[in-house]
């Protein structure tokens, strides 16, 4: 299926590793141009080099998105380089473990800054350009926003707010034909997840205990499966889909617990 992404420009935050890298690769494979945004210059350059070697189109910009001024910088840089923005993927964030008991008001606010504020900031500064292209926004959320997890109040609050903003923005942007959707992963196999698994004394047993709870095929979701859904939502092939919160999780969040 041609997703009609040729000559279109998409910003992907956290676009050099894990789910973000898969999204960057998939956009490029469909003919789109990717602006990879992240805090690590080497990681950014690596994914851009990879995409270009595969005859794709990509560039990167290295910033710390917790800094509010960085979001405007990203948008200005993208417009200066490419002259347009057709889509924004808000993906950057970290499950930083700021809990109710062991956290603090200061750490909670810092968590919101790392996981939520830049979603708003980037969308705000990108909005005039998205109006010009009738572009789209896809937010990456988390099943934690609807299930809870324990000991991660800042991250959970951020992801819950992202669900609400998705619906709010979808309504506000209807007059401009800008679509806004969110994709919620659950258990996705990424380098960061693999590193976490390896912290357990019996990593294989821990891995098996998690995959046994995923109803569909008893396996992790792949980053590429998340990316395929995200890029479809960016494209005009999903032209009448907005305000949706899509779970790409093998049934992990909603199917009957008796299955697992």
What is the residue-wise DSSP string for 143-161?
Answer: THHHH--SS-HHHHHHHHH
> Per-residue pLDDT for 1 more than 90?
no
For residues 51-80, give the mean pLDDT: 97
Q: Is the dihedral of CA 60, 158, 184, 190 positive or negative?
A: positive
Which three-class secondary structure state does DSSP give residue 103? coil
* Gap between the terminal Cα atoms of the chain: 34
119: Cβ contacts below 8 Å, ≥ 6 apart: 90, 139, 162, 165
HSE on the CB side for 223, CA within 13 Å? Answer: 19
The per-residue pLDDT for 259 is: 85
| % residues pLDDT > 90 (the chain) | 95
CATH 3.40.50.720 fits 9-187+222-249, yes or no: yes
Domain layout of the chain by residue ranges = 9-187+222-249
Residue 192's pLDDT is 86
Query: CA 164: distance to chain centroid?
Result: 16
Average pLDDT over the chain, rounded to an integer? 97
Contact at 8 Å (CB) between 185 and 246? no
Task: Report the half-sphere exposure of 27 (CA within 13 A, side-chain side).
Answer: 34
Question: In this predicted model, what pLDDT tens digit does every residue of 104-147 receive, in sequence order?
Answer: 999 999 999 999 999 999 999 999 999 999 999 999 999 999 99
Query: Contact at 8 Å (CB) between 107 and 97?
Result: no
pLDDT at 42 > cutoff 90: yes
Tell how far CA 108 is from the center of its chain.
21
Q: What is the mean pLDDT of residues 157-172?
A: 98
Cα separation, 222 vs 188, in Å, equals 6
Angle at which helices 223-234 and 18-29 pack, to 10 degrees?
50
Range list of β-strands (E), 150-253: 179-185, 188-189, 221-222, 245-248
Coil, helix or strand at residue 175: helix
* Alpha-carbon span 187 to 190, nearest angstrom: 9
| Residues 170-207: tens digit of each pLDDT | 999 999 999 999 999 999 999 888 998 999 999 999 99
pLDDT value of position 208: 95
- Can you give the pTM of this predicted structure? 0.97
Check residue 58 and report its DSSP letter: E
119, 155, 193, 252: which is the annotated catalytic residue?
Answer: 155
Calpha distance 188→247 (Å, rounded): 12
What integer is the mean pLDDT of 217-225?
97
* d(C-alpha 115, C-alpha 108), whole Å: 11
Asked whether residue 254 carries a pLDDT value surpassing 90, the answer given is yes
Is residue 155 part of the annotated active site? The answer reads yes
Per-residue model confidence (pLDDT) at position 196: 85
Q: Over 90: is that where the pLDDT of 224 sits?
A: yes
Does residue 150 carry a pLDDT above 90? yes
Section 244-250 average pLDDT? 98
Average pLDDT, stretch 229-254?
Answer: 98
* Range of weakest confidence among 2-11, 75-84, 189-198, 229-238: 189-198
């Amino acid at each position: 299926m041609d997703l009609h992404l040729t000559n279109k420009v998409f910003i992907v935050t956290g676009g050099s590793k894990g789910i973000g890298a898969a999204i960057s690769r998939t956009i490029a494979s469909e003919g789109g141009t990717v602006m990879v945004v992240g805090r690590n210059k080497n990681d950014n350059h690596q994914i851009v080099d990879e995409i270009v070697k595969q005859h794709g189109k990509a560039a990167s910009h290295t910033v710390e998105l917790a800094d509010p001024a960085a979001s405007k910088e990203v948008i200005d840089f993208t417009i200066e380089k490419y002259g347009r923005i057709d889509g924004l993927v808000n993906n950057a964030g970290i499950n930083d473990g700021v809990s109710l008991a062991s956290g603090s008001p200061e750490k909670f606010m810092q968590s919101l800054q790392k996981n939520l504020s830049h979603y708003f900031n980037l969308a705000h500064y990108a909005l005039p350009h998205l109006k010009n292209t009738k572009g789209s926004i896809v937010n990456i959320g988390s099943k934690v926003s609807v299930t809870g997890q324990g000991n991660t109040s800042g991250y959970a609050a951020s992801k819950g707010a992202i669900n609400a903003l998705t619906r709010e923005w979808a309504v506000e942007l209807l007059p401009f034909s800008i679509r806004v959707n969110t994709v919620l992963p659950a258990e996705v196999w990424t380098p960061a997840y693999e590193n976490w698994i390896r912290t357990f004394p019996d990593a294989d047993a821990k891995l098996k205990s998690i995959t046994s709870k995923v109803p569909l095929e008893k396996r992790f979701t792949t980053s590429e499966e998340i990316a395929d859904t995200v890029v479809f939502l960016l494209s005009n092939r999903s032209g009448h889909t907005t305000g949706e919160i899509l779970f790409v999780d093998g049934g992990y969040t909603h199917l009957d617990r008796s299955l697992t």
